[in-house]
Amino acid sequence: MKDNNHVAITNLSKTYKKQNSDVLALNGITLNVSRNEFLCIVGASGCGKSTLLRILSGLDKEYNGSVSVGGTKISGPGLERGIVFQEHRLLPWLTVRDNIEFALQTGTQAEKANLIAGHLKLVGLAGFEKAYPNQLSGGMAQRVAIARALVNRPDILLLDEPFGALDALTRLKLQQQILAIWEKEKTTMIMVTHDIEEAVFLGDRVVVMSERPGTIKKEFEVDLLRPRNRSGVAFQQVRKEIYREFYADLM
Ligand SMILES: Nc1ncnc2c1ncn2[C@@H]1O[C@H](COP(=O)(O)OP(=O)(O)OP(=O)(O)O)[C@@H](O)[C@H]1O
């Protein structure tokens, strides 16, 4: 059965309290995400995208409105939600294996070893267990971060500009890889990106946020079969529509 409200955000607002003035970062966000959906969120710098992901991850609990997963209000970080940031955030003094094990919450040593090996294979890094983060390229380190975020088998993967710091070619490769993982694991994906083409390539739906205070400006269904052809007419048409919406305030 399709679960249209796997993630349900209703009238979410967030104000950062500052000494002299408060910053209204999000205002009246209402958004539902279906189970297994790949949702992309685009918006100008400072519009509150990371704030929204932090609230979904449970790292930020100070907000107004309601945010729930599977009908349960989010009250803090949970194993059913994994998160990947723009920087890999691996611990430099631990090997790849130990970085992933550090995140693993349950299991015997043998089960953990199996899970770690399985997830490294999933991200195409089988055999790199003993490497240290400084022996990996940026793309490889980010793949370890993805493996680490998936190792507790979350229902939802939150991705905060995960490919933003990578070169163009690595970025294209990791886009293919995250799609393959999504198709295999059926994880609900919520990805923030600055890159409209990336959003159209990956998303079932692309949400455009307004400038601060962040609101949902417009949603676009991306009704294109995968694998998507970036230079195809239909792809370019969707990209242009989103681009127009994205830059409407600036033109
Ligand atoms: N801890 C904080 N204290 C005060 N203000 C904050 C804090 N974190 C974020 N903000 C402000 O809230 C707004 C939204 O920030 P946020 O990082 O969520 O935006 P963003 O859309 O992710 O930006 P970017 O695309 O540049 O990463 C910004 O104006 C930012 O300055």
Which residue is it, tokens 């002299």? 20
Is the separation of the CB atoms in 181 and 187 below 8 Å? yes
Using the mean position of ligand 1's atoms as its centre, give its distance from the Cα of residue 213 in Å.
10
Q: Alpha-carbon distance 34 to 51, whole Å?
A: 21
Give the pLDDT confidence score for residue 106 in this predicted structure: 83
Domain ranges of the chain: 92-153
**Range list of H helices, the chain:** 49-57, 96-103, 109-122, 138-150, 168-185, 196-202, 233-247
Tell me which residue has its CA closest to atom 16 in ligand 1: 48
Using CA atoms, how far residue 240 sits from 5, 159, 212, 220, 234, in Å, is: 29, 24, 23, 12, 10
Give the pLDDT confidence score for residue 23 in this predicted structure: 94
For residue 250, with 0-12 CB atoms within 10 Å meaning exposed, 13-18 middle and 19 or more buried, which class applies?
A: exposed
Torsion angle of the four alpha carbons 212, 214, 216, 217, in this order, in degrees rounded to the nearest 10:
0
Give the pLDDT confidence score for residue 251 in this predicted structure: 60
Give the pLDDT confidence score for residue 250 in this predicted structure: 63
pLDDT tens track, the chain, 251 positions: 567 789 999 999 999 998 888 999 999 999 999 999 999 999 999 999 999 999 999 999 999 999 999 999 999 999 999 999 999 999 999 999 999 999 998 889 999 999 999 999 999 999 999 999 999 999 999 999 999 999 998 999 999 999 998 899 989 999 999 999 999 999 999 999 999 999 999 999 999 999 999 999 999 999 999 999 999 999 999 999 999 998 886 66
193 lines ligand 1 (CB under 6 A): no
Residue in 22, 27, 50 to alter for ligand 1 test, most ligand atoms within 8 A of Cβ: 50
This prediction's pTM: 0.95
213 lines ligand 1 (CB under 6 A): no
Residue 108: partners with Cβ closer than 8 Å, 6 or more residues away: none
Q: Alpha-carbon distance 251 to 244, whole Å?
A: 9
Interface ipTM = 0.98
**Six token digits for residue 31:** 């958004």
**Range list of H helices, 3-88:** 49-57
- Which residues pair with residue 41 across a beta bridge? 192, 207
Residue 34 neighbours by CB distance under 10 Å: 16
Give the pLDDT confidence score for residue 4 in this predicted structure: 78
Is the separation of the CB atoms in 198 and 33 below 8 Å? no
Tell me which residue has its CA closest to atom 24 in ligand 1: 45
The Cβ-side half-sphere exposure at 61, using a 13 Å CA radius, reads 7
Torsion angle of the four alpha carbons 114, 120, 121, 126, in this order, in degrees rounded to the nearest 10:
-100
22 lines ligand 1 (CB under 6 A): no
Using CA atoms, how far residue 89 sits from 14, 83, 92, 117, 127, in Å, is: 25, 11, 9, 20, 21
For the chain, give the number of residues.
251
Tell me which residue has its CA closest to atom 6 in ligand 1: 16
55 lines ligand 1 (CB under 6 A): no
Using the mean position of ligand 1's atoms as its centre, give its distance from the Cα of residue 50 in Å.
7
The phi and psi torsions of 225 (rounded to 5 degrees) equal -65, 150
Is the separation of the CB atoms in 222 and 238 below 8 Å? yes
